[in-house]
Amino acid sequence: MKKLLFCCCLVSMQAFAQQTDKATRKAMELLESSMTAMRSYQYPEAIRYLQEAIRAKPTFPDAYGQMALTYLAMKQYSDAEQAFLKLGELDSSGLRSVSPSYAKAMAGNGKFTEALALLNRYETTAKNISPRTRQLKKDMEFAVTTKPVPFKPQNLGESVNTADPEYFPSPTIDGKTLVFTRRVGGRNEDFFIAGRDSLQWTHARDMGEPVNTAFNEGAQNISQDGEMLVYTGCDFPTGRGSCDIYFSLRTEDGGWTQPKNIGPAINTEAWESQPCLSPDKQTLYFVRATPDAGSDIFVSTRNADGRWAPAERLGPHINTKGRETTPYLHADGQTLFFASDGHPGFGG
């Protein structure tokens, strides 16, 4: 009976090992599927694969690590931080290798002091510190010594916002007209326009032809007097590069002229986008992709004959080795707002 009992136990252990191996293989396959989905920016699909992988093998540190990085890419910082914590419970050495990403998740949750402490520990053990990690540390040093300005954005409501993404809002100086980009059906970018009566926005309408086409139009800026629209057109037959800057003028009957490419002084074979006009419409700021910095802000002015001068890159007070984007010139003509991941900030 003892021998029989021993054999039964041995068979049970072998079956358990086979089940474990099967679970590991399934989890690995699901992990590979998640990474494929993430490479094509299908983040929710990647998360679903990873959740299945964890159900197959609950103690799978690689799945938690990949889940943390995916949530971080989705800017779901709380979920990312929880996944990093679980990774640390299962594999502390694996967590150390992704400390900069873990710090980003902490920063996204407002934990700047903790993020800085983590980066300081990482700096003492890592053999090589990347420029991005050094920049992130500068961001955290800035964040722990800077008090944010109170900011309470309000949703513009159903007259403007829908289930589709809306972005790049551009108002006229009187605050009565708003032009913005909507990605219709999650695919085609077109312009919509809304008016304001007192405090209420009218239902936004498609700007229609000739401005909107079967191609993608986006990143627009309407002049402060509402008479000129500059915007980005991508993959247009008349384009010089992947994306160029175009313009259209308001007609007497309230329509818009046939858009025109703004010309070679501004558009090149590179990617140009996110234009912004000065209040007098004589100066144009925009973003161009650059091989040395990712993207920088450029400027062009109109000559007396109405032609645009060759665009020049703004200096080092504005542009850095990082990416500068979305220039917006204030109505005073003296204050330029823009986004950057090269200047110290709160991360990103």
pLDDT tens digit sequence for 306-324? 899 999 999 999 999 889 9
Collapsed DSSP state (helix, strand, coil) of residue 105: helix
pLDDT band at 299 (very low <50, low <70, confident <90, very high): very high
Structure tokens at 319: 């542009």
Buried b (16+ CB within 10 A) or exposed e, 75-107: ebbebbbbbbebbbebbeeebeebbbbbbbbbb
Please give the distance of CA 142 from its chain centroid, rounded to a whole number: 22
Q: H helices of 57-111, where?
A: 61-73, 77-90, 92-97, 99-108
CA angle 47, 51, 52 (to 5 degrees): 120
Average pLDDT over residues 136-165: 92
Average pLDDT over residues 106-118: 95
Average pLDDT over residues 229-241: 90
Domain ranges of the chain: 21-144, 166-340
pLDDT of 18 higher than 80: no
Please give the distance of CA 152 from its chain centroid, rounded to a whole number: 21
- Write the CA distances from 317 to 12, 161, 294, 340, 342, integer angstroms: 70, 36, 17, 12, 11
pLDDT of 9 higher than 80: no
Distance between CA atoms of residues 207 and 270, nearest Å: 28
Average pLDDT over residues 160-187: 92
- Write the CA distances from 117 to 78, 109, 112, 113, 204, integer angstroms: 19, 15, 9, 6, 47
pLDDT of residue 20: 55
Which range among 15-19, 25-29, 146-150, 168-172 shows the weakest confidence by mean pLDDT? Answer: 15-19
pTM tops 0.75, yes or no: yes
Distance between CA atoms of residues 214 and 217, nearest Å: 9
Tell me if 21-144 shares its fold with 166-340.
Answer: no
Backbone phi, then psi, for 13, in 5-degree steps? -65, -40
Please give the distance of CA 262 from its chain centroid, rounded to a whole number: 26
Structure tokens at 9: 């136990």
pLDDT of residue 148: 79
pLDDT band at 85 (very low <50, low <70, confident <90, very high): very high
- Percent of the chain past pLDDT 90, that is, above it, reads 73
Beta-carbon contacts of residue 342 (< 8 Å; ≥ 6 apart): 135, 293, 319, 320, 321, 322, 323, 324
pLDDT of residue 291: 87
Between these two residues, 197 and 18, which has the higher pLDDT value?
A: 197
Question: Span 166-340: which CATH code?
Answer: 2.120.10.30
Average pLDDT over residues 107-129: 93
Average pLDDT over residues 82-90: 96
Question: Span 21-144: which CATH code?
Answer: 1.25.40.10
Beta-carbon contacts of residue 16 (< 8 Å; ≥ 6 apart): none
Sole residue written with tokens 């400390």 = 99
pLDDT of 6 higher than 70: no
pLDDT band at 273 (very low <50, low <70, confident <90, very high): very high
pLDDT of 17 higher than 50: no
Q: What string of DSSP letters covers 72-85?
A: HHTT-HHHHHHHHH
- Write the CA distances from 271 to 8, 129, 147, 174, 321, integer angstroms: 69, 31, 36, 32, 17
pLDDT of residue 267: 96
Beta strand residue intervals within the chain, DSSP E: 166-171, 177-184, 188-197, 200-201, 205-206, 216-222, 228-234, 243-249, 260-261, 272-277, 283-290, 294-301, 312-313, 324-329, 336-340
- Write the CA distances from 140 to 23, 107, 268, 335, integer angstroms: 41, 8, 37, 26
